[in-house]
Structure 1
Amino acid sequence: MTNPKFPKLLDYEALKAEYGETSPPSTIHSPSSENDSVDNENALSFSEEIPKKTGLTGSRLRSYAFAVLTRKEYSKAELIEKLALYAEHRDEVLLLVEELSERQYQSDQRVAEIVLSSQKRKGKGPNRIKMALKTKKIDTELIQEELKEIDWTEQAYQLKVKKFGMTVEKDPKIKAKQIRFLMYRGFEMDAIMKAISKKPNEYD
């Protein structure tokens, strides 16, 4: 039977304000956003050499693709859109990116692992990590094994302790607040309930 004191749906805007987060799930911070300012500056400097009307083709498009990839890792979908902004023909971009991917200059696998590491370090659970991958149009299956190997209950517990302390709360309102916080961070309900019920040194 559902406890009416625990909300069925999450109000992400309210949670963002409550927990001091600067970005809702739809704009999850990821490795690709960390260098946006630098990337924009580099893109501007490079664009001085880009024919604004004719666009890039051939060796110039290829050179620009390598310049982009030396600055940071891009998912295949991101790289296509990035190059298409300056290319003359989108079909040429598709062929080039496919070649770069086959030769491992571009790798969705590497990007997925970077996202996983970055999001986990920031205290995000599996659901938020999957959402971050989705925004980059990366298949979650690429890191499915890595996701399974992580003890998400322990991850949720450590985050709960950092935010609320080690006390196992009995007050339904406080428990509900902890549940909302961990759900917003992307943890599954099973891991959440175990985390907020875990006593110090339990299972150690």
Structure 2
Amino acid sequence: MSDAKFNKLLDYETLKQQFGDDEDKAQTSSTTSALVFNPEERLFDHSTQETKKPGLTGSRLRSYAFAVLTRKEYSKAELIEKLALYADNRDEVLKLVDELSKENYQSDQRVAEIMLSSQKRKGKGPNQIKMKLKNKKIDASLIADELKETNWVQQAYELKVKKYGTDVSKDPKIKAKQIRFLMYRGFEMDAIIKAISRKPNDFE
């Protein structure tokens, strides 16, 4: 497949005109909207009693796949299920997604890296990040190095300070509360103990 063909399909403005955009839908009249092809709106045809799929195939399925990918990154498993809702043939979806993955238009690696960065900003530990990757059917080994290189003690300590302050409590009940809080956030016990025992002037 030539780059020119992909570039043409990746022209977001063209795709937006073909498929519509959420904001544009709110602004266009019902007459105009009726002329815009939108698989998600056609998923349910209220003119009949049975639910109908748009039955996308070939270039229309391919174009819809690119329209989806221009809006956000999807894991391979997520993209398959997304496209299968509107496709006529699941085997065609599997073949298309494999092709998009090989051409790097879809990447589990990118999704994993984006998730790692996002979850760390939210104060989530490695266990919760791995669980979220598993839910998206992404192999955590894709970011094994990044997980290993992250200073999880520092991450847990900063979260503990934000929630409980810098004091190192000797009260078993308070310590237990802090441990539960950090465990819920997905940190491992070794990092938790070091974090709640760490004083402001301590350096590793």
Give TM class, smaller chain.
0.7 to 0.9
Give the 3 Å change call, closer, same or farther, for CA 54–82 of structure 1 in structure 2. Answer: closer
1:134 aligns with 2:134: yes
Deviation at 1:155, TM superposition (A): 0.4
SS in structure 2 of the partner of residue 169 of structure 1: coil
1:143 aligns with 2:143: yes
Q: Is the 8 A contact 2:78 2:136 kept in 1?
A: yes
Matches within 5 A, 1:53-202: 53=53, 55-202=55-202
User: Which protein is bigger by CA-based radius of gyration?
Assistant: 2
Q: Give CA-to-partner distance per residue, 1:17-73, whole Å, 9 cap, x none.
A: xxxxxxxxxxxxxxxxxxxxx69x79x972257794550011110010000000000
* Percent identity over paired residues: 75
Give the 3 Å change call, closer, same or farther, for CA 61–179 of structure 1 in structure 2. Answer: same
> Which 4+ residue blocks in structure 1 deviate beyond 3 angstroms?
48-54
Please report the RMSD computed on the Cα atoms of aligned residues, expressed in angstroms: 2.2
Give the 3 Å change call, closer, same or farther, for CA 157–45 of structure 1 in structure 2. Answer: farther
- 2:11 is matched with none
Matches within 5 A, 1:31-50: 46-47=38-39, 48=41
- Structure 2: gaps spanning 5 or more residues: 1-21, 27-35, 46-51
Provide the TM-score with structure 2 as the length reference: 0.76
SS in structure 2 of the partner of residue 168 of structure 1: coil
Provide the TM-score with structure 1 as the length reference: 0.76
Q: Give CA-to-partner distance per residue, 1:66-97, whole Å, 9 cap, x none.
A: 00000000000000000000000000000000
C-alpha distance in structure 2 between counterparts of 1:45 and 1:118, whole Å: 33
C-alpha distance in structure 2 between counterparts of 1:45 and 1:167, whole Å: 60
Give the 3 Å change call, closer, same or farther, for CA 126–45 of structure 1 in structure 2. Answer: farther
User: How many corresponding residue pairs?
Assistant: 165
